């Protein structure tokens, strides 16, 4: 669930900001570039009174930020932007709500649609509120803070239903209440960029809206308090850094009992930098690891390669205090409270019996696999990232769960016979239920295998629970499941990222006959 493969580039100046560096090619040394004529170029006369003066191509000013006019918002798009029309094109206006009359400025003009942003609000909606974060106007982290939290949930639910009906041709029989557990202080992981100014100052923060620049922040509304407390001391440490422009990103992670800092650096840190970092770790009671040159491996402050663990606990009925250990760079859900409710809801929808066998596909470190194991005869988790499979096995062994099997395999390249063999499925050992928790690309290939299972009467899972972080791919995959003989019984929104346009959801598919 959610985006497991998000990567940010780095800049020679540090941070995740991309500068406008030199282009490839260039001109021979000592020769000026010769402009090339292109179709549609406009030329003007050079004012110099010389004969045979080369004509100069007129510079076209960029249209970005041009005022587009006044609009009344008809509806919201799937990502919460206001929708209007301009010159036969659909106009998406960031920051506008249904029924509002606004003026807009251009962000980007595409072939079939136009991206814009609110300039002035002439008449406002009752669902509008003052953004609670002081950085909202610049920071690109949260997109919907101008919309009341209850209205955000309604928008996400409507957008999900609309995409499923429009692109998948499906309508759920039952609609679950959205899982939403607070809209501030929920995020247990964040990655910040570092930018070094020419005057020697350092910026620590998130990318700006409509830009690769970094917004400096002192606190983040959606970060858990323990991670917010690290921002000021880390900024002080960066400003005193002796290894010039060495650190490019900082990742903050909160586990069940520990908080951790991961620093990506492209140069060797000075001894004084490391000593100050050790002092910071002691003062703030946090763990600190280094990621040299962004190669993916971690070291401690002494430069020794390490393989650390953090943990999180699933508590409540049916979990019996399950604590899962994870590497700080593993994919884990950033909203632990919603994650706990999400796992509980998945178990309820699966409605497992002690004799059932279950397939958990895209299983990660076992966030669903290990709780499922407490309720069935056997569960097989399959995941492409081998290191996370190892973590799943470690967790199963530590928790003395013997009926959970973890397999490393690329689900995208797997045939239905390979999947059937890896899952240990046959007519005598049938798979009763399947849980799918794919990345944003969805699970098209796996559902094609399920189609072949059902068509060949090899296997026919009685319940399929699909956890989605992308309504578009859920809609596509829902249509494929309908073709395989299932219908969408139950659907619910998971508000994993309040104040953002990200829509997480959970769907239950049952056999149509």
* Number of Cβ atoms within 10 Å of the Cβ of 180: 20
469 catalytic, yes or no? yes
| Cα angle for residues 428, 375, 465 (degrees, 5° grid) | 80
Separation CA 330–CA 272 (nearest Å): 30
The radius of gyration of the chain from alpha carbons, rounded to an integer in Å, stands at 26
341 near 179, Cβ under 8 Å? yes
Separation CA 352–CA 376 (nearest Å): 6
CA distances from 333 to 2, 100, 328 (A): 8, 35, 12
Separation CA 417–CA 423 (nearest Å): 10
79 near 158, Cβ under 8 Å? no
Separation CA 335–CA 103 (nearest Å): 36
Strand order in the sheet with 357-361: 174-175, 486-494, 504-511, 463-468, 433-436, 357-361, 378-383, 404-408
> Which one of the listed residues 220, 363, 376, 469 is annotated catalytic?
469
Burial category of 397 from C-beta neighbours within 10 Å (exposed 0-12, middle 13-18, buried 19 and up): exposed
Separation CA 96–CA 11 (nearest Å): 34
65 φψ region: left (φ > 0), alpha (ψ -120 to 50), beta (else)? left
H or E element at residue 266: none
Q: Which residues are catalytic?
A: 469
């Amino acid at each position: 669930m959610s985006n497991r493969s998000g990567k940010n580039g780095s800049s020679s100046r540090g941070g995740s900001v991309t500068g406008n560096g030199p282009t490839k090619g260039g001109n021979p040394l000592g020769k000026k570039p010769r402009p090339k004529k292109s179709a549609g170029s406009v030329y003007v006369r050079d004012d110099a009174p010389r004969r045979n003066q080369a004509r100069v191509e007129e510079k076209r000013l960029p249209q970005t930020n041009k005022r587009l006019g006044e609009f009344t918002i008809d509806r919201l798009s799937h990502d919460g932007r206001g929708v209007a029309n301009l010159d036969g094109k659909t106009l998406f206006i960031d920051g506008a709500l249904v029924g509002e009359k606004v003026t807009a400025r251009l962000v980007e003009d595409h072939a079939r649609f136009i991206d814009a942003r609110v300039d002035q609000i002439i008449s406002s909606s009752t669902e509008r509120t003052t953004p609670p974060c002081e950085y909202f106007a610049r920071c690109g982290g949260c997109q919907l803070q101008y919309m009341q939290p209850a209205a955000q949930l309604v928008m996400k639910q409507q957008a999900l239903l609309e995409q499923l009906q429009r692109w998948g041709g499906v309508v759920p029989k039952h609609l679950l209440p959205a899982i939403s557990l607070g809209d501030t202080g929920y995020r247990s992981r964040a990655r910040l960029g570092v930018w070094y100014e020419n005057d020697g100052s350092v910026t620590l923060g998130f990318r700006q809206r409509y830009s690769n620049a970094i917004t400096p922040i002192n606190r983040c509304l959606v970060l858990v308090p323990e991670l917010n407390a690290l921002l000021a001391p880390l900024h002080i440490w960066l400003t005193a850094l002796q290894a010039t422009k060495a650190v490019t990103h900082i990742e903050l992670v909160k586990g069940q009992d520990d908080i951790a800092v991961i620093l990506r650096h492209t140069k060797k840190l000075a001894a004084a930098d490391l000593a100050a970092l050790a002092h910071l770790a002691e003062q703030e009671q946090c763990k600190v690891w280094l990621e040299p040159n962004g190669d993916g491996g971690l070291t401690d402050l002494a430069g020794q390669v390490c393989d650390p663990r953090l943990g999180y606990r699933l508590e409540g009925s049916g979990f019996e205090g399950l604590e899962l250990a994870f590497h700080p760079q593993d994919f884990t859900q950033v909203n632990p409270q919603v994650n706990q409710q999400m796992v509980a809801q998945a178990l309820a929808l699966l409605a497992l019996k002690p004799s059932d066998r279950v397939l958990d596909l895209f299983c990660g470190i076992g966030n669903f696999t290990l709780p499922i194991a407490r309720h069935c005869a056997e569960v097989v988790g399959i995941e492409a990232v081998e290191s996370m499979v190892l973590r799943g096995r470690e967790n199963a062994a530590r928790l003395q769960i013997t009926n959970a099997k973890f397999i490393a395999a690329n689900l995208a390249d797997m045939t239905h016979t390979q999947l059937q063999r890896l899952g240990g499925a046959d007519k005598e050992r049938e798979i009763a239920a399947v849980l799918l928790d794919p990345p944003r690309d969805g699970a098209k290939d796996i559902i094609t295998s399920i189609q072949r299972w059902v068509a060949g009467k090899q296997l026919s899972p009685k319940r399929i629970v699909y956890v989605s972080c992308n309504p578009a791919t859920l809609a596509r995959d829902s249509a494929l499941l309908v073709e395989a003989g299932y219908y969408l019984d139950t659907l619910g929104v998971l508000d994993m990222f309040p104040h953002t346009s990200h829509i997480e959801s959970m769907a239950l598919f049952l056999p149509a006959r």
